[in-house]
Amino acid sequence: GAGVSQSPSNKVTEKGKDVELRCDPISGHTALYWYRQSLGQGLEFLIYFQGNSAPDKSGLPSDRFSAERTGGSVSTLTIQRTQQEDSAVYLCASSPHGTDPNTGELFFGEGSRLTVL
Amino acid sequence: GESVGLHLPTLSVQEGDNSIINCAYSNSASDYFIWYKQESGKGPQFIIDIRSNMDKRQGQRVTVLLNKTVKHLSLQIAATQPGDSAVYFCAEPKGGGTSYGKLTFGQGTILTVHP
DSSP A5-24: EEE-SEEEE-TT--EEEEEE
Q: What is the mean pLDDT of residues B83-101?
A: 86
User: Residue B100 pLDDT > 50, yes or no?
Assistant: yes
Strands (E), B8-44: 10-14, 19-25, 32-38
The segments of chain A whose pLDDT lies below 50 read: none
Of B53, B83, B81, B49, which Cα lies nearest the Cα of B64? B49
3-state SS assignment for residue A79: strand
A90–chain B Cβ distance below 8 A for any pair: no
The residue that leads in pLDDT, B2 or A31, is A31
Q: Provide the pLDDT for residue A72.
A: 79
User: Residue B11 pLDDT > 60, yes or no?
Assistant: yes
Q: Provide the pLDDT for residue B1.
A: 34
Contact call for B99 and A110, based on CB within 8 A: no
Is residue A69 within 8 Å of residue A75, measured between CB atoms?
A: yes
**pLDDT one-digit tens code per residue, B31-83:** 899 999 999 999 999 999 999 999 999 999 999 999 999 999 999 999 999 99
Is residue A13 within 8 Å of residue A19, measured between CB atoms?
A: yes
Q: What is the mean pLDDT of residues B82-101?
A: 87
Q: Provide the pLDDT for residue B2.
A: 37
Mean pLDDT of chain B: 89
Contact call for A93 and B43, based on CB within 8 A: yes
Contacting B residues, span 63-102, partner chain A, CB-CB under 8 Å: 89, 91, 93-94, 96-102
Confidence of residue B97 (pLDDT cuts 50, 70, 90): low
